[in-house]
Amino acid sequence: MSETIVTMKERDINKTANRQRVMYILSTVGKYLFLSLIAVIVLFPFYWMLISSVKSLEEYRRNTPTFWPEVFHWKNYTYAFKQASLGRLFLNTLYVGVVSTILSLVITVITAFVFARLEFKGKNVLFAGLLATMMIPGELFTITNYETVYRFGWLNTYTVLIVPFLVSVFYVYLLRQNFLQIPNELYYAAKVDGTSDLKYLIRVMIPLALPTIISITILKMMGAWNSYMWPRLVANDTAHTLITNGLRSFSFAAEEDPGSVNYPVQMAAVATVSAPLFLVFIFFRKYIMKGVSRSGIKG
C-alpha cells in the first residue's frame, strides 16, 4: 500500500514537473515571439530608409513598393554629400558637440562632487531647488534665453549653441547619486593623508564613477547632435548651421526633374547623419545602462 502511495506521489510530481516545464517553454517562446515582433516594428523604418537610399527615383515612385533594390545606386550618397554640404555640417555639429560635452562634464563633475561630499549651510535646500527646476518645461525658458543671448550679441555664433545648455540638473543628480555610493571612509582617509579635494576627486571619485561619466558623455553628445529647435532659432547663417537644420534647408531636387524632390537622395542624407549615433549606441549602450542603473541604488 505504501509503495502504491509513493508511486502515485512520484507520478503526480512528474506530471507537475512536466506541466511546469511545458509552461516555461511556452512562456519563453511567447516572450521571444513578442520581442521579435516589437523588434521588427521598431527596425522596419530604419530598414526602409536604408533600402530607399540606394534606389532610383523611378523605383521609389512605383505604386508597388519593392523591399529590395533592383539596382543599387550608391551615387545617391555622393550626391547627397555634395548637395547638402554634409562635410561642413558635420564639422559644425562635431565642434559644438565636443566643446559643449567637455565643458558640461567639467561643470557636472564639480557640482556633483560639491553636493555629494562637501558640507555647507543650505546645501540640501539648494539641491532641492535645483531639482525643482526639472519640473519646469524647457520651452518656457526659450523666450528669456533668446532675449539674453540677443543682448549679449551672441546670435549666429558658436557661443550661443554651446553656453546656454552647459548645465544639466539631471546629469548632476545622476552623478551625485553615484558619488554617494563611494564610502565616506575613503574621503576621510584621503584628508588625513593631506590630499586636497580636487586631487581626491580626480584620483578616486572619477575612476570609481567612470561608467556614469561615460554614459553622461554619450547622452550629452547625442543631445547636441540631435539639437534642432534652439539652433534653428539662434543660428541661421550657413557658417554655424548644424546638421539637423542643414538637412531641413535643402530640397534635394531630382536631376531629371528639378521641380520634384529626390527622396532616395534625401534618405541617403538622413542615413549618413544617423549612422554616427547608431554606432555610438551599438558600441556604448552597456555603459549607458550600467551608469544609469548604478546611480539609483543609494540616495
**pTM: predicted TM-score of the whole model, two decimal places:** 0.76
Residues of the chain with pLDDT under 50: 296-299
Structure confidence at residue 204 (pLDDT): 87
Q: Say if residues 52 and 268 touch (Cβ distance below 8 Å).
A: no
pLDDT of residue 299: 42
CATH topology of domain 75-294: MetI-like fold (1.10.3720)
Contacts of 84 (CB under 8 A, 6+ apart): 246, 247, 250, 252, 269
Q: What is the pLDDT of residue 10?
A: 65
CA distances from 42 to 38, 47, 152, 267, 272 (A): 6, 10, 44, 17, 19
Task: Please tell me the predicted confidence (pLDDT) of residue 5.
Answer: 54
pLDDT, one tens digit per residue, over 14-45 is 777 778 888 888 889 999 999 999 999 988 98
Per-residue pLDDT, 192:
83
Q: Say if CB 284 and CB 214 are below 8 A apart.
A: yes
Give residue 298's pLDDT.
Answer: 46
